[in-house]
Structure 1
Amino acid sequence: MKRLFGMVVLLASLPVYAHGISEADKQAMLGGGLLRYVGLGASHMLSGYDHLLFLFGVIFFLTSARDIVKFISVFTLGHSLTLIFATFAGVTKNYYLVDAVIALSVCYKGFDNNGRFESYLGVKAPNLLVMVFGFGLIHGFGLSTRLQQLPLGEKGLGMLGRIIAFNVGVELGQIVALLGMLFLLSAWRKRPGFQRFSLVANEALVLCGLLLFLMQMHGYLHTRHPGDFGFNTEAHSHAHEHTEVPAPVQHDNL
């Protein structure tokens, strides 16, 4: 457990958890056109490991094109709604907490894929289409909290256009990621070990979701109580900048 916590702390120290809005992104958006927002949305989705893990879990056992289109469309509708409307209305929450819930959605999908509702809890699994839509809303809210870190300008058609452009980029990035996942799963299903290792793969999905959840909660607590999480080098250096070094004491020779 101590080693696991150490791993979480190490991963949590990575800048903005690898898929946030960096200062370089913010500067690039200043005066940038809509294509820049499209590009940022695509790169944000392709680096959004929590979103991609959830998508991987959703399509893991889907084999027909009809089912894949149905579930991905529902997920896309969900995250597009909250991404556009929450951003335009300025509705936001602490993004660490939102991302923690997104991490739990990854755990949920792995848990559901392995039939744990029936085998562990003795209950029927909730309607998957409804759950994917609901989690889509949460994922979109997570994207919205990040997007609102950008200089979107005054509320109006210009701002709405930038939000929609970002959302278009997200969808393009999602399509690219899905194509890669479908290719990987299609090749894997042809191998005799797929059924045997599918259980392990989805247990790993639960573990990844749990690690992401702990990382996000660590980040949330770190922002609320920074003094409880180790040495603050920035504050330390600032403190020394304002500390006067006393002059050496002169001793009379006896």
Structure 2
Amino acid sequence: MTRTISHRLVALLLLGLIPLVGLAHGISEEDRQRMLDGGYLQYVGLGASHMLTGYDHLLFLFGVVFFLTTFKDVAKFVTAFTVGHCITLVFATYFKITWNYYLVDAIIAASVIYKGFDNNGGFQRVFDMKSPNLLGAVFVFGLLHGFGLSTRLQQLPLGDDPAAMLGRILSFNVGVELGQIAALAAMVALLAAWRHRPSFKRFSYAANLALVYAGVYLLFTQLHGYQHDTAPDSFRIPVEEHRHVHDDMNIENTQDDSLNTLN
């Protein structure tokens, strides 16, 4: 009983941090202007900062390495994720294959839910089955995460020259990998230190439950953005514009009710 309460308490405390996760990464107008005259190094820097503020990517990676105890295992799964997101990041951007980034980010949020659910033995407890092959799942989700990165990168002025465009894409990709290495180093060090403490066993379930909550929050945030964002190149709909959207919806509903009354 006490253990269940502690799990819920920690999950609720971690849940309080989730609004920070909602400040997910996008390509700002400042980034666009800076990249107009930016060289390859600027794209490397942008890729690194994009990954380090890409809370959805970081949460998924945190879930992937949460129970990995050896460098070999960490390297194996991170390599699968990296190969996956490099493929879609480079090819989708170069060939200008894109989709609504809210929906792509919603799928990425679902990957965070999946990993937290899997880490807590959800497949065994809920579906009475073994977890799907983790290495394959990480690779597939890597493809999705790379596509998400591509939809953001395509908001930048990459130019029309194929060679220069490829150089910018690869530079951004290098930055993403550097940011990922930095983030992973911190995650692995933190988990390695925590794993030797008694609290790890007590609160690992709560930590992954919070991961699920964070994924759900991100999922609904992206779906809400998809429904209400009227500017396809913006990441967040402004508060005032958001209010007007709802006002317009209320006016339309009122007009429909009036027509029904007259009829």
Shared fold per TM-score greater than 0.5 = yes
2:228 is matched with 222
Rounded Cα–Cα distance in structure 2 between residues aligned with 1:28 and 1:218: 29
Shift of 1:232: 2.7
Give the AA of the match of 2:202. Answer: R
CA distance in 2, matches of 1:174, 1:156: 27
- Does residue 118 of structure 1 match 2:112? no
Residue 108 (structure 2) aligns with: 102
**Displacement of 1:18:** 3.6
CA offsets per residue over residues 94-152 of structure 1, 9 Å max, x none?
Answer: 00000000000000000000111011111111100000000000000000000000000
Q: Distance in 1 between matches of 2:151 and 2:243?
A: 28
CA distance in 1, matches of 2:88, 2:24: 22
Find the aligned partners of 1:64 and 1:190 in 2 and give their Cα distance.
14
- Where structure 1 has 5 or more consecutive residues not aligned to the other structure, the ranges are 1-6, 237-254
CA contact (8 A) 1:76 1:136 kept: yes
Q: Identify the residue that residue 186 of structure 1 maps to in structure 2.
A: 192
Q: What amino acid is the match of 1:70?
A: K
* Amino acid paired to 1:127: N
Residue 150 (structure 1) aligned with residue 162 (structure 2): no
Q: Report the number of matched residues.
A: 222
- Residue 186 (structure 1) shift: 1.0
Per-residue deviation at 1:155? Answer: 4.4
Kindly report structure 1 stretches of 4+ aligned residues shifted beyond 6 Å: none
Residue type at the aligned position of 1:189: R
- Given that residues 88 and 155 in structure 1 are in contact (C-alpha distance below 8 angstroms), is that contact kept between their aligned partners in structure 2? no
Give 1:231 deviation, angstroms. Answer: 1.8
Does structure 2 retain, via aligned residues, the 8 Å contact 1:111–1:202? yes
Q: Distance in 2 between matches of 1:100 and 1:40?
A: 22
For residues 130 and 191 of structure 2, the distance between their equivalents in structure 1, rounded to whole angstroms, comes to: 26
Any gaps of 5 or more consecutive residues in structure 2?
1-14, 232-236, 249-263
Cα distance in 1 for partners of 2:112, 2:26 equals 18
- Aligned counterparts of 1:133 and 1:165: Cα–Cα separation in 2: 22
- Structure 2 residue 53 is matched with structure 1 residue 47: yes
The residue aligned with 2:256 is none
Tell me which residue corresponds to 2:211: 205
Question: 1:88 matched to which residue of 2?
Answer: 94
Give the match for residue 258 of structure 2.
Answer: none
Q: Following the alignment from structure 1 to structure 2, what is the Cα–Cα distance between the partners of residues 200 and 24?
A: 38
Q: For residue 36 of structure 1, what is the aligned residue in structure 2? A: 42
Contact 2:24/2:56 (<8 A) preserved: no
Aligned-partner SS, 1:197: helix
Q: Which of 232, 238, 241 is 2:244 aligned to? A: 232
Counterpart residue number, 1:240? none
1-structure distance, mates of 2:54, 2:132: 26
SS in 2 for 1:32: coil
1:134 equivalent in alignment to 2:108: no
Find the counterpart in structure 1 of residue 169 from structure 2: 163
Q: What is the rounded CA distance, in whole Å, between the counterparts of 1:212 and 1:25 in structure 2? A: 23
| Corresponding residue number in structure 1 for 2:33 | 27
Q: What's the CA shift for 1:223?
A: 2.3
Return the letter of the residue paired with 2:243: F
* CA shift digits 1:134-188 (9 cap, x unpaired): 0000000000000000000004111000000000000000000001101110111
Higher Cα radius of gyration? 1
Q: CA RMSD in A?
A: 2.3
- How far apart are the structure 2 equivalents of 1:85 and 1:169? 17
Q: Offset of 1:224 from its aligned partner? A: 6.0
Identical aligned pairs, as a percentage?
62
TM-score, with structure 1 as normaliser = 0.83
Secondary structure of the equivalent of 1:232?
helix
